[in-house]
Amino acid sequence: MDQPVTAFDAGWIIRGWAYLLIVVPGSVCAAATAQAAATVVEVETDEFNEVSLTWGVNGWRMPPREHWPTGTVEYRKIVRTPMAAGGGRFRVQLDLPPGTTLDCGLLFMRNRHGRVIEPFWYGLPRMRAGETVRVGGGGKRFDAGEDRPLWLLVLMGGAMLLPLAATAMVLGWLAHCSGDRTVWVLVAIITLAGLGLRLAAAWHWNTVLPDSPGRLVGDEPSYDDTARQLLRGDGYTWAGRVPGYPAFLAGVYWFSGGSYRAVPYVQALLGACAVPFTFLLGRRLLGTATGVMAATLAAASPVLVKQCQRLMSEPVYVPLMLAAVILLARAWQHPSWRRWLAAGAVLGMANLVRPSLLLLPLFVLLTLLLTTPWRRAIGSCTVYAAAAFATVAPWVLYNYVTHHAIFPLQTSNAILWQGSPEYYHLLHREHYTYMEVWTQVLYGPGWQEHDPTSVAGDRWWTQRAIRSIQAEPDVYARYFVEKLATLWVGDPNADWGDTHVFNYTWLRRSMGGHWAAVAIMLLRLLPIAALVAAAALRRHLRALMPVYAVLAYITLLHAATHAEVRLSEPFQPLLLVLVCGAPAMFLLARRRADDTVAPPA
C-alpha cells in the first residue's frame, strides 16, 4: 500500500524541482560567464582620434545584449562599439562564450584633429573567442609605418604597372597580326580574366561584411531602400534616384530572397561586360591593337574591378555608357537616322541608371558643327536628342504625376551649391572638412526644412547657389578652373583627406599599405597620361571626336557644379582607349615606314 506524501517529503520534492529548474541552469550560466573568453581588438594609429568596432557573431548575427560592452549601440542589424583611446592606441575587449566566432571591422570617424571625416571601413579577419588581433604598429598592418624613399615607390609602381603594360602590348600586337577569329578568342580570354578578378573582389567583400544593412555606407542605403520599396509594391516614392539601378537591385533581391551578398556577384557579371565594350570602342576608333590593349587594362583596373563590391550604380552604368559612346562613334563616322536613333535610345537608357549625360546631345551638336555642314548637324542631333528624350519621357511623366513638378530625372542633392563660392569659402576660409559640410550644413540641425533630396529643397539650394555665384563671380571662375583638374585627379577635401592632391602619406595611411597606395596613385595619374596621349593622337582628332565630346562635356558639367574623382571614374575606359591608342598608332606608323623603306624581295 502506497504511503501518503507527507509535508516533509513534499518540501524535498519542491526543493528538488527548484534545484533542477533554477540552481542547475543558473550554475551552468554562471560557469559559462566565468569561462567567457576575452577577445581583444587593438588599433595603433596616429591619424584618427575616433575609431569604432562594428561587429556581429557567428556569421554577422546580432550578439546577445549581455555581451555588449559599455557604449555599444545597435547599428543596422549588427552593433557598433566605440574603442577606448589612449596614446595613439585604440582598444576594445569583448567577453564572448567559448566557441563563438567574431566578425568585425573598423569604422574610422574623425581625423587626428577631431574633425569629422567620411567614415570608411577596414575589414578584419574572422576571429574566435579568446583571440587578440592588433592592427598597426608591430602587429597586423594597417598603418604601414614610415614613408619609403621615392626611388622605392617608383620601383613599386613599375613592379605593378610594367608587367600589365607589357602584357597589354604583347596581346595588342598579337591581335594586330592575327585574324578576326583569333582576336575574338583573345577578347574572350581577357574578359574571363576580368570576370575572375571581379568575382574574387566580390567574394572578398562578402567575407568581411555582414549579409545585412550593416554593410551599407554612403549612398548605398538610399538605393537599398528604394529597391525594397519596389518589392513591397510602393513604387518610386523618392525624387532623389532615377529608376534603373533600384530596379536592378530589386530584381537581384527577388531572385536571391533579399540577400545583400548576391548583389556583388551579379554586379561582377555585369561589370565584366565593360571589357569587351572597351575593346569594341578602341577597335572602332583606333584599330584592333588599341582595342585589345585597352580591354586588357580595363579587365585589371582596380577601380573598375572594385565597382562590383558596393551597392552603387557603376557596374550597370559603365557598360551602358560605353555602348552609348560606341553607337555615337558609329553614327558620327557613318551618319544615318537609324544610327543616330539607336545612339540616342541607348543614351537615354544610360541616363535612367545615372543621369550624368542628360545634356550630351546639345554638346554633341556644338561639336558636330565644327566638322559637319550645319543642316546635317542639326538634323542628326535632332534625331539623337529626340530618341534620348523619348526613352526618358515616361520617367519624367511619372515624376510629374507623383511630385507635381517637372525636373531633370532626379533631384541634384544641391550639386550646384557644392560648386558655389559659399561652399568654397566653407572649405578654405572656415576650414570645414568635406564631411562637416555634409553633417553640419547640408544635413545639419533642421535640415528637413530644406531637404536637398526633395524637389522643393533642391530648388532652394539651387537658388542659394545662384545668389552666391552672382555675388562672387570671380571666386566661382577660379573654383571652376580648379575643378577642371580635381574631377580627374581628386578633390583635396573629398578625395585626399582634406589635405592636398597627390598626398602619398595620407593615401598610404588611409589605404592601409604601400601597395594599395601606389595602385591608387597610378590611377589618379591616368588622366595626365591620357592628356599626353591625346596630344600624340592629334592626327586622329576627327576619329576621336565622340570620345573628346563626352570627356569635355562631363568635365565642364562638374567644373560648373561639384567635382570629385568618383564622378569621373565610370569614364576610365575612355581614358584607357586614349592611353593605349598612342603607342599602338606609333608602332603601326613605324611598321608602315619600315615596309615603305624596305627593298623589294
* Whether 130 and 199 share a structural domain: no
Cell of 307: 565597382
**What distance in Å separates the CA atoms of residue 148 and residue 161, rounded to the nearest whole number?**
18
Residue 472 falls inside a structural domain:
yes
Contact 547, 363 (CB under 8 A): no
Q: Convert the pLDDT of each residue in 349-380 to its tens digit.
A: 999 999 999 999 999 999 898 888 889 999 99
Residue 204 lies in a domain: yes
Query: Do 275 and 394 belong together in one domain?
Result: yes
Task: Clarify whether residues 113 and 177 are in a common domain.
Answer: no
Q: Is residue 584 part of a domain?
A: yes
- Structural domain tally of the chain? 2
Same domain flag for 330 and 395: yes
Measure the N-to-C terminal CA separation of the chain; round to a whole number of Å.
Answer: 127
Q: What is the mean pLDDT of residues 99-121?
A: 75
Close Cβ partners of 245 (under 8 Å, ≥ 6 residues apart): 223, 312, 313, 316, 317, 353, 354
Residue 525 lies in a domain: yes
Q: Are residues 321 and 409 in the same domain?
A: yes
Mean pLDDT of the 579-586 span:
89
Q: What is the mean pLDDT of residues 311-340?
A: 95
pLDDT in tens, 177-186: 888 889 999 9
**pLDDT given for residue 147 in this prediction:** 62
**Residue 98 and residue 246 in one domain:** no
H/E stretch holding 44 reads strand 37-44
Q: DSSP states of 225-290 as a string? A: HHHHHHHHT-----TTS-SHHHHHHHHHHHHHTS-STHHHHHHHHHHHTHHHHHHHHHHHHH-HHH
3-state SS record for 281-337: HHHHHHCHHHHHHHHHHHHHCHHHHHCCCCCCCHHHHHHHHHHHHHHHHHHHHCCCH
pLDDT grade for 108, boundaries at 50, 70 and 90: confident
CA proximity to 482, closest of 402, 427, 414, 405: 427
- Quote the pLDDT of residue 30: 43
Domain final position from 73, 101, 135: 135
Query: Helix, strand, or coil here: 445?
Result: coil
Mark whether 378 and 274 lie in a shared domain.
Answer: yes
Structural domain contains residue 30: no
How far apart CA 29 and CA 11 sit, in angstroms, is 26
Q: What angle (nearest 5°) sits at the alpha carbon of residue 159, between those of residues 314 and 155?
A: 115
- pLDDT of 34 strictly over 70: no
The range of the structural domain enclosing residue 540 comes to 153-424+454-488+508-588
Report yes or no on 564 lying in a domain. yes
Q: Are residues 313 and 398 in the same domain?
A: yes
Q: Which CATH number goes with the domain that contains 67?
A: 2.60.40
- 323 and 413 in one domain? yes
Cell numbers representing residue 310 in the block: 558596393
Give dist(CA 183, CA 179) in Å, integer.
6
Residue 217, pLDDT score: 80
Over residues 141-165, mean pLDDT = 72
Q: What is the pLDDT of residue 84?
A: 86
Of 103, 135, 167, which residue sits at a domain end?
Answer: 135
Distance of CA 376 to the CA centre of its chain: 40
Looking at 135, 170, 199, the residue that finishes a domain is: 135
Tens digits of per-residue pLDDT, 254-288?
999 999 999 999 999 999 999 999 999 999 999 99
- Residue 120 is predicted with a pLDDT of 66
Q: Are residues 250 and 294 in the same domain?
A: yes
The CA radius of gyration of the chain, in Å to the nearest whole number, is: 29
Q: Stretch 226-248: mean pLDDT, rounded?
A: 93
Q: How far apart are CA 452 and CA 462, in angstroms?
A: 9
* Pair 271, 401 in one domain: yes
What kind and span of H or E run contains 188? helix 180-208
Residue 192 and residue 106 share a domain: no
pLDDT of 343 above 80: yes
Other beta carbons less than 10 A from residue 445's beta carbon: 7
Check residue 287 and give left, alpha or beta (phi > 0: left; psi -120 to 50: alpha): left
**pLDDT at residue 597 is higher than 80:** no
Residue 109, helix vs strand vs coil: strand
Q: Is residue 112 part of a domain?
A: yes
Higher pLDDT, 20 or 309: 309
Q: 180: Cβ–Cβ under 8 A, 6 or more apart, which residues? A: none
Task: Write down the residue that cell numbers 545583400 correspond to.
Answer: 260
Return the minimum-mean-pLDDT range out of 197-201, 431-435, 461-465. 431-435
pLDDT range class, residue 311, cuts 50, 70, 90: very high
Residue 595 falls inside a structural domain: no
